[in-house]
């Protein structure tokens, strides 16, 4: 059915033409939800039309209101508050909204992906193979996975991509530390996940490096010289040169340690509930990037310094000079990002957008990437979008992986499970379930709490993570929304046991104000998906769901459902409950969150 806002907008354009012999653009029309302190459902801001009408705001609003009421059957009445026209929509319209949504089922609010749909690639996760995933990676993964889901629900073909940063000086640091201090240790002998074992040696490198810096300073070196010439750092650089030269022993060690990390990552991704359609490896893309840079030098787009390093001059764009190849010929992050972007647009053709889900500390990096690609002549560079997000902070400050002060993703997920179990037990939420059911629901609650707590925050904001607050069964949390879904499922099961069939229309029942309040929010689901897609912000859906659930719970406590004596009212409320459960499940799935049917 046609949305009431669309009907009002089209009729308003006709009203301005008929009443004032003038035309207006659709973007001048402002239709809002009527504020709670006023009577009405929809409010039109009339001020933009006062100049056309050449009358007072009140007169203009009254004339437009009369026209709309006469031409739109579902507008029952209107009132004017200064330059604001408040329209009251009939109960029949809201009943139609409910049953139209019910007929669409789980597709309600979504736009179907077709053969003509435009393609968007979303890159997220992008871990380094020198350490395990941590809390910051969790925010990255749940944001990226959710954005991909939301874009698809808005009608785009989506490719979920992961770029594994499997080469570079940071990888060589872990490799070197293992060679020097590992004594042949493996994940099996250490009884550690592979990514945790490799991360241990990354921390060990940093500890040894800092000690050597202090030794150099004590021997009379400047701090800058000591950092640059510390023996272990020089050895790491040499290892990187050997890797890029294809040294067999170095490549063998690199393959072995990376395989340990991939096994560990896969376990973490599985528990986190995220996946990818395609995986790229920096080790396979950086050579293309190097060749593109060399071609740019030949073409005069880039320049070389006397030491052989290759640079991009971005001063004309208000930035500085950017290094693309080091004097020894080794590449930097920017080099491989250039190669990867070119490869992706070759592979998938004219994508609408290439979205990089990367923290805001890389804002400059992606600004430079886009500028360099433009300089190199790639017209699609404009379609690169950096979905920048804020860092996750803890009560005691920021995390530092090289110092071993991170909140490990695996440890956090396990702790969340234990917290969910403790709180559920204390509240008696899962009494009567089998141990297997209880264990499964603990995990569902824990993952829902973690993901929702992260996704309800506008992505660009830095957030403070509080595990205990995230598992509160009251308030704006995942478990609160999950519990409401389980509550509705319980009502629907009881109705089924009593052989009560959900109706497909309202019959002669006229829905009351409390029911209408829930349906009005239900009607905004598609709008929330579109806004979340446009702004790359899952927080719009998270907070929409919280508003919907709050409204439904208010209705649930105020209105009888199964015990309602009026059969038509009972059936209508069951239909309403069923569709609310469907939207909760659908919306939470867009966030990557499972909702249980029992809880």
- Environment class of 459 (CB within 10 Å of its CB; exposed 0-12, middle 13-18, buried 19+): buried
Say which residue the tokens 């669309």 belong to.
Answer: 6
The helix/strand/coil state of 88 is: strand
The rounded distance, in Å, linking the Cα atoms of 451 and 538 is 11
Q: Give the Cα-Cα-Cα angle 553, 558, 560 (nearest 5 degrees).
A: 100
Closest CA to 312 of 376, 360, 400: 376
Q: Is-contact 356 280, C-beta < 8 A?
A: no
Residue-level pLDDT at 581 = 98
Provide the β-strand partners of residue 593: none
What pLDDT score was predicted for residue 404?
Answer: 47
Per-residue model confidence as pLDDT tens digits over 469-489? 888 888 899 999 999 999 999
pLDDT band (50, 70, 90) for residue 226: very high
- Other beta carbons within 10 angstroms of residue 550's beta carbon come to 17
**Arithmetic mean of pLDDT, 267-292:** 94
pLDDT of 509 strictly over 80: yes
Residues of the chain with CATH 3.30.1360.70: 4-89
Please say if the pLDDT value at position 553 is more than 90.
Answer: yes
What's the whole-number mean pLDDT along residues 417-436?
A: 85
Which DSSP category does 327 fall into? Answer: T
The separation between CA 253 and the C-alpha centre of its own chain, rounded to angstroms, equals: 36
- Distances in Å between the Cα of 526 and the Cα atoms of 107, 263, 473, 533 are 10, 39, 27, 11
* pLDDT, tens digit, 9 for 90 and up, residues 315-360: 999 999 999 999 988 888 899 899 999 999 999 988 999 999 999 9
- Two tokens, residue 234: 């020089």
| pLDDT score at 403 | 47
CATH class of segment(s) 124-280+329-400:
alpha beta
**From CA 541, how far away is CA 150, in angstroms rounded?**
9
Please give the pLDDT value at position 159. 98
DSSP letters of 339-400? HHHHHHHHHH-S-SEEEEEEEGGGHHHHHHHHHHHHHTT-GGGGGEEEEEEPPEEBTTB---
pLDDT at 224 over 70: yes
Structure tokens at 75: 């507008």
3-state secondary structure 252-308: HHHHHHHHHHHHHHHHHHHHHCCCCCEEEEHHHHHHHHHHHHHHHHHCCCCEECCCC
- Spatial strand order of the sheet with 42-45 comes to 31-33, 42-45, 84-89, 75-81
Instruction: Name the burial class of residue 163, with classes exposed (0-12), middle (13-18) and buried (19+) by CB atoms within 10 angstroms of its CB.
Output: buried
What are the start-end ranges of the E strands in 165-286?
278-281
Integer-rounded Cα radius of gyration of the chain:
29
Q: Is 4-89 in CATH node 3.40.1410.10?
A: no
Q: How confident is the model over 387-407, as a mean pLDDT?
A: 67
What DSSP state is assigned to residue 98? H
Tracing tokens 């349906």 back to the chain, one arrives at 519
Residues of the chain within CATH 3.40.50.620 domain(s) are: 124-280+329-400
The pLDDT value given to residue 582:
98
d(CA 242, CA 240): 5
pLDDT of residue 398: 47
Dihedral, 60, 63, 65, 67 alpha carbons, nearest 10: -140
How does the average pLDDT of the chain come out, rounded? 94
Torsion angle of C-alpha atoms 284, 369, 165, 152, degrees rounded to 10: -90
Residue 3 has pLDDT above 50, yes or no: yes
Please check the confidence at residue 399 and state whether its pLDDT lies above 60.
no
Check pLDDT > 90 for residue 5: yes
Six-digit token pair at 216? 């150099």
Among candidates 344, 352, 356, which has minimal Cα distance to 123? Answer: 356
Report how far apart the first and last C-alpha atoms of the chain are (Å, whole number): 35
CA pair distance 180, 76, nearest whole angstrom: 81
- Provide CATH 1.10.730.10 ranges for the chain: 409-590
pLDDT of residue 225: 97
**What pLDDT does 20 receive?**
97
Q: For residue 78, is pLDDT > 80?
A: yes
Instruction: Examine the pLDDT at 423 and tell me if it is beyond 90.
Output: no
User: Any idea which fold 409-590 has?
Assistant: Isoleucyl-tRNA Synthetase; Domain 1 (1.10.730)
User: Which whole number is the average pLDDT over 492-520?
Assistant: 96
Neighbours of 327 (CB within 10 A): 13
Question: Tens digit of pLDDT for each residue in 161-210?
Answer: 999 999 889 999 999 999 999 999 999 999 999 999 999 999 999 999 99
- E strand or H helix at 166: none
**Is the torsion defined by CA of 135, 140, 143, 149 positive or negative?**
negative
């Amino acid at each position: 059915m046609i949305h009431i806002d669309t009907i009002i907008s089209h009729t308003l354009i006709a009203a301005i033409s008929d009443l004032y012999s003038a035309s207006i653009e659709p973007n001048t029309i402002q239709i809002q939800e009527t504020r709670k302190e006023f009577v009405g459902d929809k409010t039109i801001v009339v001020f933009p039309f006062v100049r056309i009408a050449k009358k007072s705001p009140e007169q203009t609003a009254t004339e437009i209101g009369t026209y709309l009421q006469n031409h739109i059957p579902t507008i029952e009445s209107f009132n004017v508050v200064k330059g604001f026209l408040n329209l009251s929509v009939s109960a029949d319209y809201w009943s139609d909204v409910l049953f139209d949504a019910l007929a669409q089922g789980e597709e309600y609010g979504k736009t179907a992906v077709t053969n003509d749909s435009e393609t968007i690639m979303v890159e997220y996760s992008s871990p380094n193979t020198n350490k395990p995933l941590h809390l910051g990676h969790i925010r990255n993964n749940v944001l990226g996975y959710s954005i991909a889901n939301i874009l698809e629900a808005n009608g785009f073909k989506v490719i979920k991509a992961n770029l594994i940063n499997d080469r570079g000086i940071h990888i060589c640091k872990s490799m070197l530390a293992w060679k020097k201090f590992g004594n042949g240790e493996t994940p099996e002998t250490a009884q550690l996940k592979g990514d945790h074992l490799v991360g241990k040696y990354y921390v060990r490198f940093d500890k040894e490096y800092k000690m050597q810096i202090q030794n150099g300073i004590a021997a009379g070196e400047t701090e800058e010289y000591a950092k640059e010439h510390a023996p272990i750092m020089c050895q790491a650089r040499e290892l990187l040169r050997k890797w890029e030269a294809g040294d067999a022993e170095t490549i063998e060690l690199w393959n072995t340690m990376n395989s340990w990390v991939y096994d560990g990552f896969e376990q973490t991704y599985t528990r986190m509930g995220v996946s990818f359609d395609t995986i790229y490896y920096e080790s396979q893309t950086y050579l293309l990037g190097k060749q593109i840079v060399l071609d740019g030098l030949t073409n005069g787009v880039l320049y070389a310094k006397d030491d052989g390093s290759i640079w991009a001059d971005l001063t004309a764009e208000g930035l500085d000079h950017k290094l693309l190849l080091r004097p020894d010929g080794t590449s930097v992050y920017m080099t491989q990002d250039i190669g990867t972007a070119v490869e992706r647009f070759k592979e998938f053709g004219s994508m609408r957008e290439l979205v990089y889900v990367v923290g805001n500390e890389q804002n400059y990096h992606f600004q430079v990437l886009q500028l360099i690609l433009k300089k190199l002549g790639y017209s699609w560079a404009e379609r690169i979008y950096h979905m920048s997000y804020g860092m996750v902070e803890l009560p005691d400050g920021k995390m530092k992986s090289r110092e071993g002060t991170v909140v490990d993703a695996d440890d956090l997920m396990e702790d969340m499970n234990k917290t969910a179990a403790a709180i559920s037990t204390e509240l008696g939420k899962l009494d009567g379930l089998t141990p297997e059911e209880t264990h499964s629901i603990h995990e569902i609650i824990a993952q829902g709490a973690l993901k929702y707590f992260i996704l309800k925050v506008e992505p660009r904001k830095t957030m403070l993570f509080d595990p205990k607050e995230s598992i509160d069964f009251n308030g704006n949390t995942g478990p609160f929304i999950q519990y409401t879904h389980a509550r509705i499922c319980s009502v629907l099961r009881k109705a089924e046991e009593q052989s009560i069939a959900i109706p497909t229309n309202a019959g002669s029942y006229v829905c009351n104000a409390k029911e209408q309040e829930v349906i009005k929010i239900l009607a905004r689901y598609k709008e929330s998906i579109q806004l979340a897609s446009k702004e790359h912000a899952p927080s719009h859906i998270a907070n929409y769901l919280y508003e919907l659930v709050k409204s439904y719970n208010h209705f649930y406590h105020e209105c009888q459902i199964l015990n309602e004596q009026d059969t038509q009212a009972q059936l209508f409320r069951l239909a309403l409950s069923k569709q609310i459960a469907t939207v909760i499940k659908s919306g939470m799935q867009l966030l990557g969150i499972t909702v249980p049917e029992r809880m």
